[in-house]
Amino acid sequence: MSLNLSFLALQLFIKKEIQFIKETKYLIMTDTIRKTLRDSKSARWTALVVVSLSMFGAYFFNYAMSPVKPMLESQLGWNSADFGLYTSSYGWFNVFLFMLIFSGIILDKLGIRITGLGATFMMALGTGINYWAITTAFPAEAMVFGIKAQVAWSCFGFAIFGVGTEAAGITVSKAVVRWFKGKEMALAMGMQMSIARLGTALALGIALPLAKNYSYATPILVAFVFMLISIVTFFFYIILDKRLDASEAHIEVEEEDPFKLKDIILIVTNKAFWFIAILCVLFYGAVFPFLFYATDLMINKYHVDPYFAGIIPGLLPFGTILLTPLFGGIYDKKGKGATIMIIGSLILILVHGFLSLPGITSWMFATVMVIILGVGFSLVPAAMWPSVPKIIPEKQLGTAYAVIFWIQNIGLLGIPLLLGIVLNTTNPDVAPNKALIKNAVEKSFDKSLSASALNFSPKEIEKAIEKTTNGIIDSIVQSISYEPTMQSEIDTASISAEISAKTLAILNTIDKNGDKNKVLAKAIYASKHASYDVVAKNKLNIRYNYQVDMLIFTLLGILGLLFAFLLKAEDKKKGYGLELPNIEK
């Protein structure tokens, strides 16, 4: 009897052990399912790369027009105020129609997939409108709301693009938080920024060579192709995101309260939120608008060949590609987020202050300054964006990012516009003098080549005029430094007539028989030299002085440093943990 009881007890024990093993196995399998995607490094980093490609295209188009600024002036009759208006138009709808705020609410209501897909379509639409505007010949007197028609339609396209880009930006930020919360979040955000800024570096590096070798509209066409690719890649992200949901189907999470409009009040009454938002405006306002004008600055102040001028500012975003993830990784492991933002702001002040000094015109010095600025530009965002989830609850995160981006867009609307107006006001003669040269060359080419037996097409003549005008301006700006003659002492009609006469005389000496391309090449070469002498002799002012604009950038850096210190003090007071590591142990 005792033996039977012992045997039954043993059987019961074995059954319980088997049941325990089965339950343990089930839990292990369930845990494996949970770790299939979010906890799989390859899965979450693949998701990051795929979703970041949309921002790569956006950042390319954002700066595709910047290096082409001199050609817009000489070929289309734009001036710095027009260019400033164009760069500011990015934020028109986001700021005045509150589209960014609506984008954040839509993101919190409808989720990453719908918001992101809609955003990529908006970016493609805006880029397409911009390309149409820049390639359409509007009548010279055509105006839209008091703005030149071509400029107005370009602004309209850029404004639509801005709505899509900012919506995509907050969507990508929330996607990164979704996949990387409690893990390498700062590193992931740094990588996302690096991929995006690779687009900036590419635009600054190749836009002007593309424009000179093909057409000033070619960089925009390339950007449009990137926008179409962005739509395709976001579909791939949607597939990954759905798989993430499926892998977490068995995980029970405490359901959060749905987003309410009153959550906006909770966000905007948070003092630390405002310190980050204002720091964001000041910091990005001292960097992004600088990149809009940096290629032109390199040509005008540092005498860099236009074909290579974009490479120097292109080092800034290219450097951040490597450094932002590095600094993000440091923040993940070591913390010190607020301190990192202070150091970045100090670097901004240093660089812009040195670039504003009038006596230093060495391109090597400018290169070193841009590289150092790249370090500062890597530090602040690497710490700023991962700090927001420490201050704002996740259910309000989409709206919080939207409000920050909306405030940022106010700065990115006002600062470039101010810079363009200041540059035009402090250099009132440059754009008209460039137009003078173009018109004079155009008259002589039309008279000489239109009557040629080779029957040059209007497009061929237009291209030759474009290359001649740009060649004259580039040669003067790059190779000669002179104190320009006061515009009031210049007889512009006489100079225009002299350029036309000398150009026409030299064109009439060229043999216009044979290969059309060779004839055009000879005409361009000879005309550049003839006109160059007239412009240099009369000391016509065609070089921009950027000193006042650079002082504005320096002031923005000083204000940014102030708010970085205020943020650190608020963190110490409220204990948000900005100085603590992101990785949870």
Contact between 194 and 321 (Cβ < 8 Å): yes
Q: What is d(CA 147, CA 128) in angstroms, rounded to the nearest whole number?
A: 20
In single-letter form, the type of residue at position 369 comes to M
Task: Determine the Cα angle at 146 with ends 142 and 147, to 5°.
Answer: 70
Which domains are delineated in the chain?
A: 43-247+265-427+545-574 (1.20.1250.20), 430-538 (no CATH)
CA-nearest of 31, 25, 378 to 197 is 378
- Angle, alpha carbons 315-317-323 (nearest 5°): 100
For the stretch 497-553, pLDDT in tens is: 888 888 888 877 877 677 777 878 888 888 888 888 888 888 888 899 999 999 999
Query: To 10 degrees, the CA torsion angle through 372, 376, 379, 384?
Result: -160
User: What would the two tokens of residue 376 be?
Assistant: 């500062």
CB 38 within 8 A of CB 182: no
Amino acid 191 reads: M
Rounded to the nearest 10 degrees, the angle between the axes of helix 112-135 and helix 41-64 is 20
Residue 148 bridge partners (DSSP): 143
Instruction: Report how far residue 184's alpha carbon sits from residue 325's, in angstroms, rounded to the nearest whole number.
Output: 10
Please report the pLDDT score of residue 260 as a whole number. Answer: 62
Q: What is the mean pLDDT of each run of 10 residues along the chain (585 residues)?
A: 44 47 43 59 84 89 89 84 91 87 81 91 96 89 88 95 90 84 77 85 89 89 93 89 76 54 77 91 90 90 87 81 76 84 92 92 93 86 82 77 82 90 92 88 80 71 83 82 84 88 82 76 83 86 92 94 92 86 69
Residues 6+ apart with CB under 8 A from 505: 530
Residue 8 confidence (pLDDT) = 47
Q: Is 449 in a helix, a strand, or coil?
A: helix
The predicted-structure confidence for 226-251, as pLDDT tens digits, reads as follows 999 999 999 988 888 888 877 766 65
The overall average pLDDT reported for the chain is 83
How many Å apart are CA 514 and CA 510, to the nearest integer? Answer: 11
Please choose, from the candidates 307, 538, 507, the residue with its C-alpha nearest in 3D space to the C-alpha of residue 436: 538
Cα gap 461→449, rounded to integer Å: 7
144 forms beta bridges with 147
> How much is the pLDDT for 33?
43
As a whole number of angstroms, the distance between CA 337 and CA 380 comes to 9
> What CA–CA distance (Å, rounded) separates 380 from 327?
9
